[in-house]
Amino acid sequence: MGFWVYMLVMNLLIPFTMIGFGRYFEKGGPKEINGVFGYRTPMSMKNKDTWEFAHKHCGRIWYICGWISLAATVVCLLLLLGKDEDVVGTASSILVGAQLAVIIASVLPTERALRKEFDKNGNRR
């Protein structure tokens, strides 16, 4: 049971991080363009307008996907309650892989939205 609780906590770190940063990014994210923290791609860092747009768009995706991921993680791990540690460990690894895939995949719709809203120099269309 102790291992199951540990894996539940570990598997909830990514969804809670997505929810928290998603909300922060939705509300504007980092105020200044920087190379350390935030949604940093060449297109998002063109100017202040692209920076803010990218954070709001990606934040919305992360916030929604974080809640979906949270619910899916809890349901999956509840189904594994009382199972062998190997089963719980393997399933947890798959869950974390899926959560990371969602984070990485969030770049695609955000970049698509940036390219739709702005030209290659960062000017609004």
Q: Indicate whether this model's pTM tops 0.85.
A: yes
Phi, psi of 108 (to 5 degrees): -60, -55
SS3 123: coil
**Nearest-angstrom CA–CA distance, 51 and 39:** 8
Q: What is the pLDDT along the chain (125 residues), one digit of tens a residue?
A: 889 999 999 999 999 999 999 999 999 889 999 989 999 999 999 999 999 999 999 999 999 999 999 999 999 999 999 899 999 999 999 999 999 999 999 999 999 999 999 999 999 98
